[in-house]
Chain A
């Protein structure tokens, strides 16, 4: 009987202390039969650090929120097989349900295999799909046909049919072609690509190799964010192992198929998620989008036919080849096939990575899988699609997850960020947050985006600071439509979405800011009015002592008062008042 302890060590897990846990376990297990292993991220981020106890490769217990001081008890339990000493660490059934309600394809190995071991990946089936293609004589056209049958669409945001892009690149003349993986995951609030690379890099490599085979590329490049150092390291390592094992390089698996692999680290520019900007960046230039046409499939990297897909898209490919396009297409809706990974974050009780078949409702994901709003708050909206997406209000929670249905709400599927907001979130400042982001990330090339997003951001800033004017809403709408129509690339064209969708569902909040100079969520500090309830105040002086601008006065044991002119609405008085006497409105 083999016993194994696997410590989840994705970036999140490590940030939560997984490495310290592993370091504490290592000496305790030395010399014993219990093996200590590393796995990637299982996606249950709110429970990190997580240690899985395997008996003969079967999960016996999942231990959550493990701290280094639990190491001794865990080691003891693993050695003895008696788990009673660590019962409190074992995951609760309702938390386990988080995983049980999912259908994992792209994430199938994440948190289960050792991301630094080719053997571990192979045991889970890595490279068998590639082997199937190369050994059964499937032609590139056959591969494209399988992908076509599967209905797989680009998971990076636009949802363009993958087979179509592959076919276009395949059909383009020339024998120098490139296959590029966009791992420049820039949407704030999305991290599934990082998780896949950190947890299961061979699945990405295999998917890319199949893509390269399909379009006829001899070189594959992964463009990955520099902010993902662990992902880069594990991917480098995996490429090395795969090359040694004959999956990368010349005559892969002893066939005529050859493909080289390369990693290129991005340098911090959201716009490089746009495929032509990404190509400019790959060529060592400023990441400014090119005009389309020509499309990359005709003229891309070094003006050669190029195909670009994102990580999650590639992560589905090997599974589709192994299980058949029909199996993938059997999941999902008429319009959207297969599964989609979402990064569930924000004011959610169970935040993490969720992979579900298309066709589930938002309510199911947020309330059944995610457990609803944390800290007793009330659901207000879910932001989907990041800076290109929009906010979906409570009234539309039963919307089915599918490209068209989501687009109809004004949001988009996007890369899968799902940031849940409760009633403490101000939707105007949310819109401002996204415009701050896009204005900062605009490459500055085209007028509509460079100046248009800046002006939108300025108007929103004005509104949140209480300087909103009558007509600002209409001006923003006009500007939004113009930017959407006139911007050069996807970043600019979609930049107005967060404004338009919040205006659509939360117009009253904008009006409250502009007309009544009031922030209903009490977050826009310039619009807050802070006062002390004389009935409740005991004159403890805590507020006066903590006020950074000395705006509070009053004698000891007498009710205190706030000088409204001096107050900067920082809320510290409210935080320190033990009697609930500070009123913020």
Chain B
């Protein structure tokens, strides 16, 4: 036996003479990227991804050309690299070229629009199969609080759901809540933390962001402590979201699941008062700031400092915490200023506190309201009075207490840069309402007292790097409402915290890997493309009658039945590629930063055509590696598939689209199994 010695990417390797570089690498447990190679068929050399550079041919000279590892033989003394700048450049362009002619959705539009990147299609599919625990397993890869988030999330996923082009989007958020409820009620999904790393992390803030960071870092084996100023964990989920939307026991149980992993939770600890940031930094290997945004913004109108004027968050917090008494608003008139979800929570809470009249003061019209449609609808049912196109001009007091609110009448002007028509005052037009309580729900900002030495943005939020989540301090990270753009929805904070946890984990292991958004192939689908789909209406969440629910803080929603949930889940169009997990193309594409859009041009026409017995082929996803053709020919010995045409328009086709081809196919499925992308799909009938 003639053994030869060589190196690949600096690693010493050995194999028998005569092997190709690709084979030699494999024998030494090194994977050189490749798409068109398969050991069962002859070497082809089409994809060019396996290009390697030989820096030394064993005789002290470099090989001038890049070599295709699949065909070039390895030689004694070769110094092979496939991580040089030249190779990376070549592979990058090859991937960009391939992707520029690859039409498909790696992941569904639901997942791509989820700020946390939750695999909605994946868990919906589990639910469709009645596997709620399996569904929770998938959800918890991104969201550790699915029962809570499923109830409160404004679900950007549903916004992009393609079912919306057929009739209505899937009820993805409620499906998530349902699966999580069923999971909590039964044999709960409980992942085990990895082996202890001995590293410690302090998380400041026990809201959705802090808990998420804690959960994923604990799963990685780090020792995590969460500090929160409030009496209980949960942050905005507990103190900002009213119980009629998210019952506290649901939140408690989900937090208990996190604690169960061994996350230490310390309440009533305020940073800067009970403990300093410096102390935390000394005690821990990393600190994550996730303290949220708890101060209501001011409107800067006269009378804002009167008694009876409060912030939306303050109002909700006082009620939820039981710190302030639940105010008895019986017979009182309340004005809520703002059009977002906090305004909705505030107005509906005021109703539940017995207020006689609750106004929502909003300067645009209903269609411009950022709050969720269902919230507007349900609040109106519960008796909220909307004052559209009005803006507080002055809060009029009497003896230091609110008496009236004077409203400027507005009208819609020209659209602004964001496309929204901006409101402009109608000169001289005012309206005055008698009110006892004014709630300002126009936004929140963080309270950064106690975060000594941390650099802030101009907005007063903590400045954190978008890729590393690091603040100006080398071991202090920050995520969520506290940072950069300021307050947003919970799932944004959860997404950021999850990505941050991965960065922190990598840093704790010695090599920080900053976050970079992975590349996904996406395609455009219009209503016409889906015109043939059968219409199946969206499930309706049963709710308590308005008259009844307006009187208490018990849940509005009654929950879905298992049958309804399964039915609803089956509406999923499964837009994301079936082969994502196995797809070699996307795996390589995500290993480096690529920009196929700069090479955009004509593409092969996508389309699913069921061509052969058990194989469905999507021309848009085919990368012409020829593996299916060669396997059908050389391995299956059928020769049903062939390359037709030449150059760019070349396509793989069964012979003449002839029924005879169907007769020849033995359904060995070898072609589909070998396909490096999702172009061939096995249909299970």
Contact = CB atoms under 8 A, between A and B. Distances in A.
Given A447-B47, A451-B100, 11 more contacts: A444-B646, A444-B650, A446-B46, A446-B47, A447-B48, A450-B624, A451-B97, A452-B93, A452-B97, A453-B648, A458-B601
Top 6 closest pairs, chain A to chain B, by CB: A444-B650, A482-B93, A291-B71, A451-B97, A458-B601, A291-B45
B647 A488 contact: no
Contacts of A292: 71
Given A448-B93, A458-B602, A488-B45, A443 B71 contact: no
A451 B101 contact: yes
A486 B48 contact: yes
A244 interface: no
Contact of A447 (B65, B66, B72, B94): B94
Interface centre among B45, B47, B70, B98 (most CB of A within 10 A): B45
Contacts of A488: 45-46, 48, 68
Given A444-B624, A488-B46, A450 B648 contact: yes
B647 A440 contact: yes
Interface residues of A, number: 30
B647 A448 contact: no
Chain B contact surface mostly: loop
B420 interface: no
A459 B598 CA distance: 10
Interface string B38-65: 0000011111100100000000000001
Interface residues of B, number: 37
Contacts of A450: 624, 647-648, 650
A321 interface: no
B89 interface: yes
B604 to A, nearest CB: 10
A407 interface: no
Contact of B645 (A439, A444, A447, A452): A444
Contacts of B72: 293
Contact of A479 (B47, B93, B648, B650): B93
B433 interface: no
A453 B73 CA distance: 28
B94 A444 contact: no
Contacts of A445: 44-46, 624, 626
A447 B46 contact: yes
B365 to A, nearest CB: 41
Nearest to A488: B45
Chain A contact surface mostly: helix
Nearest to A489: B45
A478 interface: yes
A193 B170 CA distance: 68
Given A444-B646, A486-B90, A454 B602 contact: yes
B127 to A, nearest CB: 39
Interface in B606-664: 623-624, 626, 643, 645-650
B86 interface: yes
B509 to A, nearest CB: 35
Nearest to B97: A451
Interface string A477-492: 0110010011110000
7 contacts: A293-B73, A450-B624, A453-B648, A479-B93, A482-B93, A485-B51, A485-B86
B134 to A, nearest CB: 38
B66 A485 contact: yes
A441 interface: yes
Contact of A486 (B43, B51, B648): B51
Contacts of B598: 475
A507 interface: no
Given A455-B599, A488-B48, A443 B93 contact: no
A451 B98 contact: yes
A446 B45 contact: yes
A113 interface: no
A27 B100 CA distance: 66
A146 to B, nearest CB: 32
A415 interface: no
A12 interface: no
B601 A291 contact: no
A454 B600 CA distance: 10
Contacts of B602: 454, 458
B45 A447 contact: no
A293 B71 contact: yes
Interface in A298-334: none
Interface string A444-472: 11111011111100100000000000000
A454 B98 CA distance: 12
B43 A291 contact: yes
A429 to B, nearest CB: 18
A269 interface: yes
A293 B93 CA distance: 25
A452 B599 CA distance: 9
A286 B648 contact: no
B48 A439 contact: no
B68 A291 contact: yes
B94 A286 contact: no
A442 interface: yes
Interface centre among A440, A445, A475 (most CB of B within 10 A): A445
Contacts of A439: 647-648
Contacts of B646: 269, 286, 442-444
Contacts of A485: 51, 65-66, 86, 90
A448 B647 CA distance: 11
B124 to A, nearest CB: 35
A174 B86 CA distance: 40
Interface in A481-507: 482, 485-488
